[in-house]
Each structure stands twice: as C-alpha cells, then as structure tokens.
C-alpha cells in the first residue's frame, strides 16, 4: 500500500512539473533554490525523478528490514522447531497407522511441546496408549491435551468418552458424557453416546427420559432411532417385569405405539416376561391380541403350543383367523393340536393333513403320527413317523451344510416344533 501511494505521488509530481513548465518534450526546466539555479532538460528531470523514487523505496525497505530483524532472529529457532514438530507429528501418525503404537506414542509425546498442534499430539498419544491397554497413560495424555488447549474441552471430553466406551468402562464413560452434555446440551454426538451408554447399562428409565431430546435433536437416523426404540421397548418390559406386576407389564406394553407392539422382539419379550411373572394365561391372551395385526407363522405356532398347554378354550378365537388365512400351514397345525385336545378327532386329523398338504414339516408329521398311535392306527402312525424322521434328517442335513458341517445340538434328540416356522 505504501509503494502504491509513493507511485501515485510520483506520477502526480511529474504531471505537476510538466504543467508548471509548460514546455513540450525536449525543452528545459530551471529549478532555483535561493541564489542557485539548476537547469535540466525535461528528460533528465524525469530520469532523476524515477531514480529518486526507486531510492526512496529502497530506503523504506531497508528501514523495515532493520526494524524487523531482531524479531526474526528471535523467532527463527521457534519456526525451525515448529517445522520439525510438524514433521514428527506426521511421522507419529504414520507409525500409528502402521500398527507401531508404542513408537508412535513416544514420538508424539516427545515432540508435543514443539508441535504446531500439541492437541493432536496428545489426543493421538492417548489413542495409542489405549491400544496398548495403558489407561493411566491415556488419561494423563488427555489431561495434557486440555492443559495445552483448554478451548478444545469438547473434543477432549468426547475423545475420552469414546475411549472409555471402547474399553467397556461404562460407568466412567457415563460420568464423562453427563459432564459433556451439561456443558453442551445440544451436541448431537454427545447425546448419541449417552443414549448408547444408557442402553449398554440397561438404564431404561434414564434412556426413556432422554428419548424426547434424542428425537428433537435428530441425533439418530430414522433406522437407528427405530432400532433404539425397539431396544428401549424390550428394556422397559423387563423393567416392568422386575416389579412382579402383571398389570404394570401389560400397561407398559399397551403404552407403546402400534408399530412397536407388532415388532417380533417386543412380542418375544412380552411373552417371556409375562411367563416369568407367572402370568401364562395373560401371555397367551396378549399373543392372541397381537396376531391379527402382526400375523406370522412363527407366532401362530407359538400361540398354538401355549394355548394347547395353558388355554385350550382360545380355540374359538383362533377359528376367526381362518377366514383371512385359510392357507396357513401353521394355523392348520394349531387347529390340529387344539381339536385333538378337545377330543374332536375327525377335525384334528383333517387339519393335520391339511397343514401337511400346504407345507410338509417334520413336526406336523410327527404330531400326526403320535395322534394316529392314540387312535390305534399303528400302521399309519409308523408310516408318518418314518416320513417325519426323514424330513427332520433332511432339514438337519441342510442346516449342517449351511453351518460348515456342524449338526445342531438338541439335548433330547429332537427339534423344537418352532424351528421350522
């Protein structure tokens, strides 16, 4: 900027002289200083003017250089050290990437004081110490990171929480994340980690209280949020079951939104927890309530086994489902079980055979064999038993191929009837 102004002054002065002299190019200019008079051609005057401008710039440059020289002399060692520290930072990162964690850690810590970014040195050293399971050194490096760059508290606490979670130090991570969320209540990544830590600790009450904020801040994608909601739903059912109250367990389940109540893992949790608190009948009834809107062959079979043992009177409700699902092999199998329990042998046999016609399964075949044995039809029972065992062996053979040749283990030598559905 100074040089620009000097150049402007130079041009303005030259134009001013030409205006004063009023002489055409090639004329003479007389400059009088006191009693002395200097005569110059206009060309010579302009030449001197240019040379003077150049000398003036050189003088200003020399003066600026002299004034800044002490500072440059003072800063030179620091600049050299900073460049070397930056080089060592890169080398330390490369060593860590190559799996040389100890060498990388030592290099990063050694040159941290000369690094242009000591925060990175200490954070990376903390990760290297973590990979060597040296938690004491890890925490010490994080403290040094904060001492070197206090304004990076968010990044440091977040790194500390992530490292603690990675080492399953969930209680320590929870304390770190609570502090982090108190300092930065709108920070999404902190909220994500806090939610996952609550889930890992099975603190369903705390996660329920955090849930509205997670949705408001959009901390998770839609798929992640639905998955976490299912986990929370199962957890809340287990929490309710811990009170031993069937009413609280059922009330908790019906407090879920409809789509959550129809999720398989939530239904499984409900049935398991109801049976755990001794409410077997309620388990069957709740499953019967869910089935019409969350139809599944698996749940139909589960309902049939529970109802056959605990609530055979629910056959009438099951019959209402046949209008919408007349070709359900599972439902016909259930009808066979329940009609057999009622002593209606003709209907039981018809539904067993209808189920086999729709889809031959070893469980249905063996159930029919046992039923025919009760009726005294030993020949038919033996024939069905052979078919059922063959189907069972074929399934196990297919399973063993899918699992690298390992046969599934069953302590009683037979598979559970639910396995096929």
Which whole number is the average pLDDT over 112-116?
80
Same domain, yes or no, for 338 and 382? yes
Same domain, yes or no, for 61 and 113? no
Residue 281: inside a domain: no
**b/e string for 281-300 if b means 16 or more Cβ within 10 A?**
bbbbbbbbebbeebbbbebb
Same domain, yes or no, for 409 and 344? yes
Highest mean pLDDT among 18-22, 76-80, 116-120: 116-120
Cα separation of 130 and 164, whole Å? 9
Last residue of a domain, one of 12, 40, 69: 69
Task: Measure Cα distances from 43 to 9, 11, 27, 46, 47 in Å.
Answer: 18, 15, 8, 5, 6
State the CATH number of the domain containing residue 336: 1.25.40.10
Same domain, yes or no, for 358 and 382? yes
Q: What is the CA radius of gyration of the chain?
A: 43
Task: Quote the domain boundaries for residue 417.
Answer: 295-421
Residue 365: inside a domain: yes
Q: How many CB atoms lie within 10 A of CB 341?
A: 15
Which of the two residues, 199 and 289, has the higher pLDDT score? 199
Residue 273: inside a domain: no
Phi, psi of 40 (to 5 degrees): -135, 150
Residue 408: inside a domain: yes
Last residue of a domain, one of 130, 148, 166: 148
**b/e string for 230-253 if b means 16 or more Cβ within 10 A?**
bbbbbbbbbbbbeeeebebbbebb
Same domain, yes or no, for 375 and 306? yes
Same domain, yes or no, for 409 and 309? yes
Range name among 252-266, 302-316, 326-340, 349-363 with the lowest pLDDT average: 302-316
pLDDT tens digits for range 35-81:
666 776 666 766 776 777 777 777 777 777 777 766 655 544 444 45
pLDDT tens digits for range 315-359:
888 888 888 888 899 999 998 988 888 889 899 899 989 999 998
Q: Per the structure, how many domains does the chain have?
A: 3
pLDDT at 5 over 90: no
Residue 230: inside a domain: no
Range name among 46-60, 176-190, 368-382 with the lowest pLDDT average: 46-60
Phi, psi of 115 (to 5 degrees): -80, 145
Residue 60: inside a domain: yes
The pTM of the full predicted model, rounded to 2 decimals, is 0.64
Task: Measure Cα distances from 403 to 246, 393, 396, 408, 411 in Å.
Answer: 40, 15, 10, 9, 19
Same domain, yes or no, for 299 and 420? yes
Same domain, yes or no, for 60 and 123? no
Same domain, yes or no, for 299 and 413? yes
pLDDT exceeding 90 applies to what percent of the chain? Answer: 29
Provide the pLDDT for residue 10: 62
Same domain, yes or no, for 417 and 349? yes
Range name among 253-267, 347-361, 394-408 with the lowest pLDDT average: 394-408
pLDDT at 118 over 80: yes
Can you read off the two tokens belonging to residue 72?
A: 């440059």
Do 96 and 104 touch, CB atoms closer than 8 A? Answer: yes
Residue 175 — very low, low, confident or very high, per pLDDT cuts 50/70/90?
very high
Question: DSSP labels for 339-360?
Answer: HHHHT-HHHHHHHHHHHHHH--
Last residue of a domain, one of 69, 94, 110: 69
Residue 418 — very low, low, confident or very high, per pLDDT cuts 50/70/90?
very low
Cα separation of 76 and 145, whole Å? 26
pLDDT at 412 over 50: no
Most distant CA atoms of the chain, gap in Å: 151
Containing 394, the helix (H) or strand (E) segment is: helix 378-402
Provide the pLDDT for residue 94: 87
Residue 235: inside a domain: no
Same domain, yes or no, for 84 and 65? no
Provide the pLDDT for residue 291: 85
């Amino acid at each position: 900027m100074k040089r620009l102004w000097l150049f402007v002054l130079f041009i303005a002065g030259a134009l001013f002289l030409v205006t004063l002299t009023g002489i055409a190019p090639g004329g003479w200019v007389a400059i009088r200083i006191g009693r002395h008079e200097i005569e110059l051609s206009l060309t010579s005057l302009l030449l001197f003017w240019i040379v003077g401008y150049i000398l003036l710039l050189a003088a200003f440059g020399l003066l600026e250089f002299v004034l800044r020289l002490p500072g440059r002399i003072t800063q030179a060692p620091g600049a050299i050290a900073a460049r070397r520290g930056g080089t060592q930072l890169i080398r330390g990162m490369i060593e860590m990437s190559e799996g040389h964690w100890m060498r990388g850690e030592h290099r990063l810590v050694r040159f941290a004081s000369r690094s242009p970014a000591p925060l990175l040195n200490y954070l990376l050293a903390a990760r290297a110490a973590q990979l060597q399971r040296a938690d004491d050194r890890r925490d010490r490096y994080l403290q040094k990171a904060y001492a070197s760059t206090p304004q990076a508290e968010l990044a440091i606490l977040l790194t500390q929480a992530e490292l603690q979670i990675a080492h399953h130090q969930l209680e320590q991570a929870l304390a770190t994340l609570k502090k982090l969320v108190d300092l930065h209540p709108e920070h999404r990544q902190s909220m994500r980690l806090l939610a996952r830590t609550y889930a890992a600790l099975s603190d369903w009450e705390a996660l329920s209280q955090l849930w509205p904020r997670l949705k408001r801040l959009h901390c998770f994608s839609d798929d992640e949020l639905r998955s976490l909601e299912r986990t929370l739903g199962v957890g809340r059912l287990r929490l309710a079951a811990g009170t031993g109250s069937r009413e609280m367990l059922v009330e908790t389940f019906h407090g879920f939104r409809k789509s959550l109540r129809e999720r398989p893992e939530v239904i499984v949790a409900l049935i398991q927890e109801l049976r755990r608190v001794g409410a077997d009948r309620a388990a069957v009834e709740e499953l019967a309530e869910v089935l019409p809107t969350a139809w599944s062959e698996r749940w139909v079979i589960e309902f049939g086994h529970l109802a056959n043992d605990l609530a055979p009177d629910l056959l009438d409700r099951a019959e209402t489902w046949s209008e919408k699902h007349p070709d359900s092999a599972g439902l016909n199998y259930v009808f066979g079980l329940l009609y057999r329990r009622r002593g209606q042998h003709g209907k039981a046999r018809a539904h067993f055979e209808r189920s086999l016609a729709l889809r031959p399964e070893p469980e249905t075949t063996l159930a029919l064999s046992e039923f025919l044995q009760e009726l005294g039809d030993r020949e038919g029972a033996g024939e069905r038993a052979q078919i059922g065992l063959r189907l069972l062996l074929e399934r196990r053979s297919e399973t063993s191929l899918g699992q690298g040749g390992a046969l599934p283990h069953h302590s009683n030598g037979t598979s559970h009837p639910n396995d096929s559905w």
